[in-house]
Amino acid sequence: MAYLLLLCLLLTMTSCNAFSTLPTTFRGVKRTAPAFSAVRLNAGDFASGAVLERPGSTVLSRPTILNPIPSQESKNTKAKGWELRIFNDTTNTREHVARTLVQVTNKSESDAYNLMMSAHKNGLAVVGVFLLEQAEMFCEQLGEFGLVADIQPLDE
């Protein structure tokens, strides 16, 4: 909805030369036309819903939404926390995994080493429990370093 309003505003501004307030040169043509003419308004004009119009312009009414899209939130997005898990793989060295955990999640070197060894021995290790946005960010950053990681909603 916000994107639609922003698009309408942008189209309105470009169609009424709102960007031509400053002298610009485009393909050798210099324009200095003002974007809006001066209009004197009283304080009461805004309360009555006055709209600034440029001569020859059209004011669009707000579109009505006939069938709103239902919320796509599942019960998992409302979880109390999200577990960030790393998995053992054959491509990354143990040193690389531990160093990446220190850089991305700000774990201490000993904690990172213990997590790496747990993933190496057991196949996976839980790095921690985070809010959804933070867990997604850590998971994405670990993936950029080549680690196999995912997030899992914490059981309530």
Closest alpha carbon to 145 in 74, 91, 66: 91
* Number of domains composing the chain: 2
Across 17-26, 49-58, 104-113, the highest mean pLDDT is recorded for: 104-113
If DSSP codes are grouped into helix, strand and coil, which group holds residue 75?
helix
The residue-averaged pLDDT of 90-117 equals: 95
Last residue of a domain, one of 53, 69, 85: 69
Give pLDDT, residue 61.
Answer: 73
Last residue of a domain, one of 18, 38, 69: 69
Residues 17 and 45 in one domain: yes
Band the pLDDT of 21: cuts 50, 70, 90: very low
Closest alpha carbon to 101 in 132, 128, 72, 61: 128
Give pLDDT, residue 80.
Answer: 85
Residues 113 and 58 in one domain: no
Band the pLDDT of 8: cuts 50, 70, 90: low
Q: Which residues, 6+ apart, have CB-to-CB distance to 123 below 8 Å? A: 87, 88
Residues 6 and 65 in one domain: yes
Q: Which residues are 150's β-sheet partners?
A: 85
Task: State the pTM of this model.
Answer: 0.51
| Residue of 54 and 133 predicted with greater confidence | 133
